[in-house]
Amino acid sequence: MRGQCPDSGHVRLGTVTGENEAEIGEVNAFWQGLGLPGLVDVHVHFMPPNVQAKVWDYFDQAGEGRAWPIVYRLAEGDLVGLLRAFGLRRFGALAYPHKPDMAEWLNTWSVEFAARTPDALQSATFFPEPSAGRYVAEAIEAGARLFKAHVQVGGYDPRDPLLEPVWGALAESGVPLIIHCGSGPMPGAFTGPGPISEVLARHPGLTLIVAHMGAPEFGEFLDLVSRYPRVHLDTTMVFTDFWDDIALFPAEMMPALADLGDRILLGSDFPSIPYPYVTQLRGLAKLDLGDEWLRAVCWENPVRLLGL
pLDDT in tens, 5-29: 333 333 345 666 667 899 999 999 9
The CATH number fitting domain 37-305, selected from 3.20.20.140, 3.20.20.70, 3.40.190.10, 3.40.120.10:
3.20.20.140
- pTM attached to this predicted model: 0.93
Which pLDDT value is given to residue 11? 39
* Coil/strand/helix, residue 40: strand
User: Range with the lowest mean pLDDT among 15-19, 75-79, 105-109, 122-126?
Assistant: 15-19
Q: What is the DSSP string of 200-222?
A: HHH-TT--EEEGGGGTT-HHHHH
32-83 pLDDT, tens per residue?
A: 999 999 999 999 999 999 999 999 999 999 888 899 999 999 999 999 999 9
Tell me the C-alpha distance between 48 and 9, whole Å. Answer: 10
235-266 pLDDT, tens per residue?
A: 999 999 999 999 999 999 999 999 999 999 99
**pLDDT at 123 exceeding the cut of 90:** yes
**Mean of the pLDDT values across residues 144-156?**
97
* Coil/strand/helix, residue 237: coil
Nearest to 90 by CA among 130, 62, 66, 119: 119
Nearest to 186 by CA among 51, 63, 274: 63
**Mean of the pLDDT values across residues 276-280?**
98
**pLDDT at 136 exceeding the cut of 80:** yes
**pLDDT at 133 exceeding the cut of 90:** yes
Which pLDDT value is given to residue 221? 98
Tell me the C-alpha distance between 136 and 133, whole Å. Answer: 5
Nearest to 188 by CA among 147, 162, 164, 158: 158
Which pLDDT value is given to residue 10? 36
160-201 pLDDT, tens per residue?
A: 999 999 999 999 999 999 999 999 999 999 999 999 999 999
Which pLDDT value is given to residue 106? 98
Nearest to 214 by CA among 188, 180, 253, 177: 180
- 213 contacts 221 by C-beta, under 8 angstroms: yes
